[in-house]
């Protein structure tokens, strides 16, 4: 049985329910006919298309099924051309990787701590030089640990940003795939009717 025959059979066989709005009976008939003609798979995935076509088709046309196909072809061309999403642009982090500390950074850390602990003493005093010589390795270890912590935080932020970019790209690819499946569904319907 062809899709046009299924449409006509369902269109004529549609029964009105007591709760149906009498003004919408042509729509109900057209919707039932299109649902039968295009199949349950199309209805489950794209019932909004059937609704759109049933609403927009001219119910006074001689061949209602051809009118429905005309509206479907128009809808397909519109949706494929104008509703394709743009490929997402990747987002970038503007923060830079922390620099690996050396003796200079350790000395700066020591100087800050020395001024905090001994606010009245000078940094170029004999006592400051002796304490620096004694605590040089300890200061280097502290700034290296701070660097490692900052590097881990930076890498975690970069990984999260990469994961977000990948997720957005996959979402876009899925939308394109859905559009291709929809386009194939419609082309099969139009090819069968030709």
Q: What is the pLDDT of residues 77-134, one digit of tens each?
A: 666 655 677 888 999 988 899 999 999 999 999 999 998 998 888 888 898 899 999 9
159 or 24: whose pLDDT is higher? 159
Q: How many residues does the chain have?
A: 194
- Residue closest to 32 by CA, chosen among 59, 12, 52, 17: 12
5 or 80: whose pLDDT is higher? 5
Which segments of the chain does DSSP mark as H helices, in order? 3-13, 25-56, 64-82, 103-117, 126-193
Alpha carbon distance 75, 69 (integer Å): 10
Tens-place pLDDT, residues 15-31: 888 888 888 888 888 88
Report the pLDDT averaged over residues 18-45. Answer: 84
pLDDT of residue 80: 61
Q: Helix, strand or coil for residue 58?
A: coil
């Amino acid at each position: 049985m062809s899709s046009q025959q299924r449409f006509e059979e369902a269109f004529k066989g549609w029964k009105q329910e007591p709760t149906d709005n009498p003004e919408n009976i042509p729509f109900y008939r057209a919707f039932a006919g299109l649902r039968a003609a295009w199949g349950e798979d199309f209805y489950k995935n794209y019932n909004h298309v059937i609704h759109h076509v049933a609403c927009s088709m001219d119910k006074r046309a001689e061949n209602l099924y051809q009118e429905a196909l005309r509206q479907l072809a128009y809808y397909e061309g519109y949706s494929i051309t104008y509703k394709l999403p743009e490929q997402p642009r990747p987002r970038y982090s503007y923060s830079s990787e922390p620099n690996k500390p050396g003796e200079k950074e350790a000395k700066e850390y020591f100087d800050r701590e020395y001024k905090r602990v001994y606010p009245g003493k000078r940094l170029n005093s004999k006592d400051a030089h002796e304490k620096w010589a004694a605590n040089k390795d300890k200061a280097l270890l502290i700034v290296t640990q701070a660097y490692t912590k900052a590097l881990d935080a930076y890498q975690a932020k970069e990984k999260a940003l990469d994961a977000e970019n990948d997720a957005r790209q996959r979402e876009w690819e899925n939308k394109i795939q859905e559009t291709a499946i929809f386009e194939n569904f419609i082309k099969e319907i139009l090819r069968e009717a030709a």
